[in-house]
Structure 1
Amino acid sequence: MSTYDKIKEIEAEMARTQKNKATSYHLGTLKAKLAKLKREIITPSKSGGGESVGFDVAKTGLARIGFVGFPSVGKSTLMSKMTGTFSEVGAYEFTTLTTVPGVLHYKGAKIQILDLPGIIEGAKDGKGRGKQVIAVARTCSLIFLVLDVLKPLTDKGLIESELEGFGIRLNKSPPKITFKRKERGGLNITNTVPLTHLDHDIIRAITSEYRIHSADISFRCDATVDELIDVIEGNRVYIPALYVLNKIDQISIEELDLIYRIPHAIPISAHHEWNFDELLDRMWQYLDLVRIYTKPKNQQQQIPDYSAPVVLKSNHCSIEDFCNSIHKAIIKQFSYALVWGSSVKHSPQKVGKDHILADEDVVQIVKKS
């Protein structure tokens, strides 16, 4: 029996099993078995190297955005309009057969865009080229799920299921669970909040399926069975996503109001370039980037250079990170910095290398004399 057949067998058994407290132990064990089988699909095979030709693209720029969607939803048109990169467009399915890279320059940042071939239902189970497509999606900083506005919720649910099955968690944060294996000592389970989805028996059933008999497990959230399995597996990726609902030129204003109620959704028309400004603004927000401007020494009265900001990820935005992004040697000669902007109480303010910068701050580095 193949891995895919085993997965279908377990999924069928889970569907037949009623969900209640009496069956929670059994369902927890089945979910753990299912996750182990899916790991075999997620883990790249070392054989058959020709399968992914045209899919692997070297990373460039500060961030990477992948366009994911079913065939003929307008991914290639959106790619061409956003980046000027030609991605073959056709009124038939599977026009794009390999990954097409492009570059978007926005607010001083160089952002890599990947137009991925259309996936089909069952991609996570090996149908079509879905396995390669989703493997590339796992490497992205942000995913654009491009949907046909005429059937957004149906396609949204199907694509989310495909990505979930491949270990991609959209618009979610890693669960607050600390898991550490030990050589001996049994399971030590602690929690700082009440657990309503798990009890010690279910936790032991899951860890037993993984042949883990000694570990420290600490819960700082009301975790589910799936979240505990995700932490044990350790190969999940948590990626922000925007649902780009294309072809709004084909719907009414009333229908557009309903579309806006979908969380993380941006309605556009790629063909007419409608609502691109909002799409780019939300893209910037979800990438969580900040712009830092520079001011040369002895030029406090002059206007900073706003034409070429230093763009950083907000979780790596200290003065030291700023210096290292320009040149590694700067921090060795660093004395202090003067900062103008929202990260300081008064402008300019003298700060050290650990100071955390905010978007559109202005920085002047003072070196040791």
Structure 2
Amino acid sequence: MATIVDKIKDIEAEMAKTQKNKATSFHLGQLKAKLAKLKRELLAGPSGSGGGGGGLGFDVARTGVASVGFIGFPSVGKSTLLSKLTGTHSEAAAYEFTTLTTVPGVIQYRGAKIQMLDLPGIIEGAKDGKGRGKQVIAVARTCNLIFIVLDVNKPLHHKQIIERELEGFGIRINREPPNIVFRKKEKGGISITNTVPLTHLDNDEIRAVMSEYRISSADIAFRCDATVDDLIDVLEAPNRRYIPVVYVLNKIDSISIEELDLLSRIPNAVPISSENGWNLDGLLELMWERLNLVRVYTKPKGQQPDYEQPIVLRSTGCTVEDFCNHIHKSILEQFKNAVVWGTSVKHQPQYVGLSHVLSDEDVVTILKK
């Protein structure tokens, strides 16, 4: 009996030999939808346990306001990097598969406590269950940011393999969710609207995907030039994770300045030497930027602001209401308004309400009724 991996390979082979045209678009749409469902089944595992994220050494107690997962091939320097950044000892040696479990560490950066997770070295075929790949990537799916650590002597080859493995597990790298509004309904058939021309997707593909997911009635509004993969991602929404990635180009002490200049052009990449501690500040600055953390300082009425212990909120667009909830939900019951100093207001200070969006390093006083 064919395994899930066998079925996936068969579908991928059939897609590779099928030329895309008007006559084949329905068939290809159906194949892509079947492939997505099989990959979801593979991720869930036989008992539907969510991808095998558990297991000895993989379950780690979470701490801090955000988590950063280190992913890379064996012996690229992840353990040394964790040690340099957090002071946590993770067994490091010049041979493969030194780290066999998830090793956590914590760094205090700009007033925020950030957890770092050194994951076991990934290998090609992880998404198909090879090695401990399923557990490694299942932990990575829970992170707020991923460092893909690459050896500068073979960066592009490893980069492509790791990206393929992460994509195979439903992780979308440095991308926003597609702007597609999907609403299932009881009857009325499939209603399709679009505000921009669809150059990658036709009605046959949409019908094929809906048929494979057994959806006979729904409203679908395309607000971007979507592909069939984008549509499938929306239907598979709970199984998709959109995670920012930083490419950590390690061991720059082993290459020339000319080679380094070429590699530095990779988007979202930071060249470092974990062994020598070179450019770790630059890596942390980009980490902060990609995490979108916002520090808000509290100022009790009649007192100086507390610049030592900011309230750190984990996303941009955070409001005064989010700030209050982070301190204690009971504050909202007595909330009158807030006084804000900082870049989010035009006047210094300014009285605002719960819906006011705060900026990094704003100072806030909460006034009660």
TM-score normalized by the length of structure 1:
0.95
Cα distance per residue 1:266-317 (max 9 Å; x no partner): 1110011110111101101100001111222123xx5x32211111123452
Q: C-alpha root-mean-square deviation of aligned residues, in Å?
A: 1.6
Cα distance per residue 1:169-205 (max 9 Å; x no partner): 0100100111222222211111111111111111101
Whole-Å Cα distance in 1 between the matches of residues 168 and 29 of structure 2? Answer: 17
Whole-Å Cα distance in 1 between the matches of residues 65 and 54 of structure 2? Answer: 28
Report the AA paired with residue 367 of structure 1: K
Cα distance per residue 1:123-168 (max 9 Å; x no partner): 0001100011001111010000001111111110000000000100
Share of identical aligned residues, percent?
Answer: 71
Whole-Å Cα distance in 1 between the matches of residues 200 and 125 of structure 2? Answer: 29
Residue of structure 2 equivalent to 1:286: 290
* Structure 2 CA distance for partners of 1:316 and 1:328, relative to 1, 3 Å: farther
Comparing 122-131 and 335-344, the one that deviates more: 335-344
SS of equivalent to 2:12: helix
Structure 1 unaligned blocks of 5 or more: none
Report the AA paired with residue 40 of structure 1: E
Q: Select 1:55's aligned residue among 58, 70, 75.
A: 58
Residue of structure 2 equivalent to 1:345: 346
Residue of structure 1 equivalent to 2:265: 261
Report the AA paired with residue 67 of structure 1: F
Whole-Å Cα distance in 1 between the matches of residues 48 and 229 of structure 2? Answer: 30
Residue of structure 2 equivalent to 1:226: 229
Structure 2 unaligned blocks of 5 or more: none
Residue of structure 2 equivalent to 1:39: 40
Comparing 159-168 and 315-324, the one that deviates more: 315-324
Q: Select 2:275's aligned residue among 268, 271, 274.
A: 271
Residue of structure 1 equivalent to 2:8: 7
Report the AA paired with residue 75 of structure 1: K
8 Å contact 2:338–2:366 — kept in the other structure? yes
Whole-Å Cα distance in 1 between the matches of residues 69 and 225 of structure 2? Answer: 32
Whole-Å Cα distance in 1 between the matches of residues 282 and 46 of structure 2? Answer: 40
Report the AA paired with residue 85 of structure 2: M
Q: Select 2:246's aligned residue among 231, 242, 248.
A: 242
Report the AA paired with residue 96 of structure 2: E
Whole-Å Cα distance in 1 between the matches of residues 241 and 48 of structure 2? Answer: 24
Superposed, which structure 2 residues align to 1:137-286 within 5 Å?
Answer: 137-234=140-237, 235-286=239-290
Residue of structure 2 equivalent to 1:74: 77
Whole-Å Cα distance in 2 between the matches of residues 211 and 292 of structure 1? Answer: 47
Report the AA paired with residue 186 of structure 1: G
8 Å contact 2:26–2:207 — kept in the other structure? no
Whole-Å Cα distance in 1 between the matches of residues 354 and 9 of structure 2? Answer: 54
8 Å contact 2:25–2:204 — kept in the other structure? no
Report the AA paired with residue 103 of structure 2: V
Whole-Å Cα distance in 2 between the matches of residues 334 and 51 of structure 1? Answer: 42
Whole-Å Cα distance in 2 between the matches of residues 195 and 50 of structure 1? Answer: 37
TM-score normalized by the length of structure 2:
0.95
> What displacement does 1:59 show?
2.0
The list of structure 1 runs, each at least 4 consecutive aligned residues, that deviate by more than 6 angstroms after superposition, is 47-51
Whole-Å Cα distance in 1 between the matches of residues 283 and 53 of structure 2? Answer: 36
Whole-Å Cα distance in 2 between the matches of residues 232 and 290 of structure 1? Answer: 31
Whole-Å Cα distance in 1 between the matches of residues 67 and 291 of structure 2? Answer: 9
Residue of structure 2 equivalent to 1:356: 357
Q: Select 1:106's aligned residue among 105, 109, 125.
A: 109
Residue of structure 2 equivalent to 1:18: 19
SS of equivalent to 2:356: coil
